[in-house]
Amino acid sequence: MKIALIGYGGMGQALKSAALPRGHTVPVIIDRASGEATAASINAEALAGADIAIDFSSAEEVLDSARAAVEVGIPLVVGTTGWYDKMDEVKSVVGNKIGFLWSSNFSVGVHMYFRIVAEAARLVNNVDEYDVWGHEIHHVGKADSPSGTAKTLEKILLDAIARKKTVVEDKLDRKRADSEIHFSSVRGGVVNFGHTIGFDSAADRVTITHEARNRDGYALGAVKATEWLAGKTGFYNMDEYIRDIFPDSKNNNV
């Protein structure tokens, strides 16, 4: 396939490195700052010559990316986070005109992690002596906090543990309520991608951690998801693709 990359920062470059060995080409790079870019901004003309597009740019550009992809008639994969308040508008633009696939995280390892955490949370739901907390760390260049991955983990925990009703993401200057989960975020370092969920009792603590060594797993997962989307129309999230890999998995809306 001829892939258009929208956004050519660290993830965009990792996507290109993952796509080329799989027989794809990258004739289109859309980025305001990169010297390798074929266009500076997203529009239909910039996407000409591509079979499919992958957007890891910014939340503000996702709607424009969807409109341009629909105009050209090519599928679009979106890994950018922070745009979910525009979800209904993007759905309306996409309709059944093109294939559209989004995820807060394309790493297959992270999706395995989601399912491990979900099963652990279902167990903890039955033993109320265990409290629960979450923590994440991302590199200094991460644009949003908490991450989309953290948001997914929060939802998994709230869905599974009946005694937990809300998540607090801000600094706490008070005692945390029993019905709350505190999920903290740290930003620092050049290559940091890590999430930890803790199940904590007076007797012991169980922690479940996923740490990425680099962007390679995210990039390869996004390219494989792009291959899966080719030829489809409609609006998908990563779960439809992941069910093909883990067919016995429950739907965690990831």
Residues with active-site annotation: 138, 142
Do 161 and 124 touch, CB atoms closer than 8 A? yes
3-state DSSP call for residue 53?
A: strand
Q: Order of strands across the sheet with 193-200? A: 166-168, 180-187, 131-138, 193-200, 205-211
Separation between Cα atoms, residue 202 and residue 174, nearest integer Å: 21
Identify the CA nearest to 68 among candidates 46, 101, 85, 37. Answer: 46
Q: How far is CA 63 from CA 70, 78, 89, 125, 195, in A?
A: 11, 10, 8, 39, 29
Tokens of 75: 């599928």
Handedness of CA 238, 242, 247, 251 (dihedral sign): negative
CA dist 218 and 142 (Å) reads: 14
